[in-house]
A and B are shown apart, each in its own frame.
Chain A
Amino acid sequence: MVTMLIMSLAMPFFLTPVMAQEATKAATEAAPKVEMAKDVYFKTEGPVSGNPVPELKAADYPSYNLPYPLSENRILIWSIAQQHLYFGSFVLAVPIFCMIIELVGLLTKDPVMAKKYDDLAHLLVKISLTAYSVTAILGGLLLFSFITLYPDFFKYISSLFRPVMHIYALLFLAESGTLYIYYYGWDRMAHGFAKWMHACLGVLLNVFGSVLMMLANSWASFMMSPAGVDEQGRFLGNIWNVLHNALWNPLNVHRIIGNMVFGGGIVAAYAAYKFLAAKNMEEKAYYDWMGYIAMFMAVGSLIPLPFAGYWLMREVYGFRQQMGITLMGGLLAWLFIIQAVLIGALFFSTNYYLFNGMERMRGAEKYQKYIKYILFLTTAAFIVWLTPHTLVMRPAELKAIGGQQHPIIGNFGVMSAKNGAVNTMIMTTIISFLLYQRSNKIITVKWEAWGNAALVAMFAVALVNNWWLAIYGYFIPANVRVGLSVPQVMGTLTTLFVGSAINIAMMKGSKLTGPIEWGKISVRSQYALFALAVSFTWLMALMGYIRSSVRLFWHVMEVFRDTSPWAFTHTIGFAANVMSMNVMAFWLFVLFVFWLGELTSKHAVAEARKEAARPVMAGGSE
């Protein structure tokens, strides 16, 4: 559907170059026919319709006379692009939440809860409104920076993507318009049919947003895996081939899901911040609830993310073994250890938040004894997850081991083990969720023992199956091994869906041991929410850097060489510092945006808070 939308929007633009070409054809009737050349990726023939990439010298890169490291254009572009991407993700992700929360509100029968959800969605759009203009400003800044700092490169890219860039701009307009109607029409379209129309606007907003992002993704993925051009970088007349390059879709999927986690993280951090600053119990209760909802959505999206990541990485390897090895085994491999640590931090903080969340329910004690087992499994899986393929060691240690590969933990370094580990971590998180949902309920269904037995059996089978496949993966060829991840994922998803279904069925008609006492959660848990959000922004900085630097000395992989004086790869320490600066700058920006939202939202929140004190059942989103 999205494809169709792009196509129809793009039609007029696609026609232009073809028509121009025909015109030239007619004009030069007698001249030899159009030169044909071979697509670097699709291997099809196409008419040469653009200029080759320019051959640049170091002097062709204008730069400011700023003190190092700002004298490097690359650092400037890197930071500005990063900030633009952060805010872009923010304003794409938050509407996804608004859409879901508004729909949940619409479908909730209890009018008080429905209103509570609706107000939350409304508040979120307000926050994203300011962020929206920041995104546009940063986008403009990025554009000017490209034009001034990398003029030749930008000229080339824009000559290729000319129609796409225009559609991008138009979509941006459409998105803004929709966003404003969505926001300012909120109260007017509050009832009956109009409310449903309003919810549809929310969907439309997200369609525009997603297409927008996919178009922007194509520029990044084109630079990694060019297509639609010949070896000299000449455009071959088919813009769809340029868009639809090898890494476009994997990147799209990973980023859409990633953005959703990010949006949840930001909202959770906002709630945590307000919780910590809250002056009375009412406020605390409201923001505790909000933090929970946001966290719930972030983690819901987090669960498929590793799978999307593996797909992306597989396609990278498939495109160029060289690029895959630079990433995972070579120059950039150390950064993947940081990635592993950050991803682990996400899972640990989620579980920790849930454990703490149990405290706001009376009757949770009977489940708290399982915490140690959940933590143990998660830790064991995490040890496997973070053990790198290539160990960092002193030569003396190397000799003691007798080689690069440690006979025990060396085996944890490869993909098969990682798959087993990440599935285990996901499953333990699911277990935490199920226990959390039960915490304030006494189950009364007659088949309680059977239900529990089914749950235990299902998790046991899924876990054992997952571990067994992880071990088995060592003994089969890589292309078959990739297939193993399917039963592994199926097992994990079964525990998620069937497990939740059994759990919910069991809770039917259960006796409440008491309401969820929103606001009674520990302060520590709110820091866990911060940890979740900050780890995630750091992860984005890290992975974006990895994605970009894997091209090494190419602007466009194997087509357009980067001959700037900064075409070398920075040390890990230096790169990590730039990333951290970017993360900090972003959070300062975000605080500013929150503060702005504060100036106008006092009233709305006060209203919403009144209802918040009302007790709700665990599980939040039912």
Chain B
Amino acid sequence: MWTEGYMPVQMLIHLTVMMAVYVGANYFLKKIGKGIPAFPQAILIWLGTYSYFKFAVAPPLPSTLLYTFMGLVTIVIFLFISSTEQGWTDFKRPILGTLMAVNPMYKGVRTFSFVVLPLLIGYGTYDFNVPKFDEPIDLRTVHPAPPASTTVRGQNFTLQTAQNPYRVEDNGEYMEPGHEKKYFKSNVFEPNAPKYLQYVKEGGSIFFQNCHFCHGDNLNGRGMFAFAFVPIPANFVDPGTLAQLQETFVFWRIAKGGPGLPTESAPWASAMPPWEEHLTTDEIWKVSMFEYWHTEFFPRTWE
């Protein structure tokens, strides 16, 4: 059902197919004179969407997001049925029918719901109040704001303006982010590879000597030690990490690691080591360049 790399689009396609099935089924049932009334229709749409988000989406959605989605769906269903007077009247009919017990069946439903609803609400209240021992929801800031400048191994870097000294064209000029595209998928082991690729190769060795235990040999955050840590190491393949960050941000994160996280990153749980204690600034620049090259993302720029 899910193919890596296409998943977000797949989800939207699934939803579209579900919509098409709903419209088609409705049309067909109406054709053969067995149209479903508005009220059960609304319930069916709700349950259908809920089952999809709850059971078909894997890995599961975080509960906060599931609730948000379902809240949205609930509102939209309400908007849908009440956007025409006809739909609104149809929808209200069984509710009013139940409340007023217009026939024996509704009377039965009313008696049933007058018993069951209070019980359900009672249970809900109990469940809400009973002490729970789940871990609390974590409002962690994954990408905290970097400082204006940082000192690494006695050298001061202004993060707004610093540049990776190894990001160079063959003639030694600084290579603007985006221009490295021509080197993607090239062979870094070529003896007379361009300068940029040689630095990438050096960065690669640094990565495989130091980082892949955690960040994984595919850079997807699934290294052999990864699951020993909470949070698990960053997944560089995801467009939400490297591609969102300026190169200087990555430099700063590598240099300072978990211990160097700023105040807002409470509870500073990251196991990322402060690499300034083991690598030189040059090595840090190179390894960050390797990470970008390997994942084929470009550092963020703002011009």
Residues of chain A whose beta carbon lies under 8 Å from any beta carbon of chain B: 314, 317-318, 320-326, 329-331, 333-334, 344, 348, 351-352, 355-356, 358-359, 368, 371-373, 375-376, 379-380, 382-384, 386-387, 389-414, 417, 471, 474, 476-480, 522, 524, 558
Contacts and interface: CB of A to CB of B under 8 A. Distances in A.
Given A314-B302, A359-B84, A410 B135 contact: no
A38 to B, nearest CB: 14
Given A403-B235, A414-B240, A371 B80 contact: yes
A321 B135 contact: no
A401 B62 contact: yes
| Complex A-B, nearest 4 residue pairs according to Cβ-Cβ distance, in ascending order | A477-B298, A393-B62, A355-B83, A477-B178
Given A330-B141, A396-B135, A414-B243, A403 B83 contact: no
Given A321-B159, A322-B159, A394 B144 contact: no
Contacts, number: 214
B57 interface: yes
8 contacts: A386-B72, A390-B140, A392-B62, A405-B235, A410-B238, A414-B243, A417-B8, A479-B177
Nearest to A479: B301
B84 A405 contact: no
Contacts of A355: 79, 83-84
Given A406-B59, A411-B7, A325 B144 contact: yes
B146 A321 contact: yes
Contact of B145 (A322, A390, A471): A322
A363 to B, nearest CB: 14
B76 A348 contact: yes
B79 A348 contact: yes
A408 B84 contact: no
Nearest to B22: A372
B82 A414 contact: no
Contacts of A384: 12
Given A318-B302, A404-B142, 9 more contacts: A352-B83, A355-B83, A355-B84, A402-B59, A404-B231, A409-B61, A471-B9, A474-B243, A477-B301
Contact of B239 (A387, A404, A411): A411
Contacts of B147: 322
B136 A478 contact: no
A375 B222 CA distance: 40
B298 A331 contact: no
Given A368-B84, A392-B138, A394-B138, A322 B60 contact: no
Contacts of B12: 380, 384
Contact of A394 (B9, B15, B137, B302): B137
Contact of A392 (B2, B60, B137, B238): B137
B240 A476 contact: no
Contacts of A399: 227, 230, 232
Contacts of A393: 62-64, 137-138
A522 B177 contact: no
B54 interface: no
B63 A394 contact: yes
A480 B179 CA distance: 11
B121 interface: no
Contact of B143 (A330, A387, A395): A330
B85 interface: yes
A408 B8 contact: yes
B199 to A, nearest CB: 19
A480 B300 CA distance: 10
A175 to B, nearest CB: 37
A330 B62 contact: no
B72 A382 contact: yes
Interface string B262-303: 001000000000000000000000000000000000111111
Given A396-B135, A398-B230, A407-B4, A414 B239 contact: yes
Given A477-B301, A479-B177, A479-B303, A322 B146 contact: yes
Contacts of A407: 2, 4, 7, 59
Interface string B1-25: 0101001111110011001000100
A402 B58 CA distance: 11
Contacts of B241: 405
Given A380-B16, A402-B222, A403-B232, A411 B140 contact: no
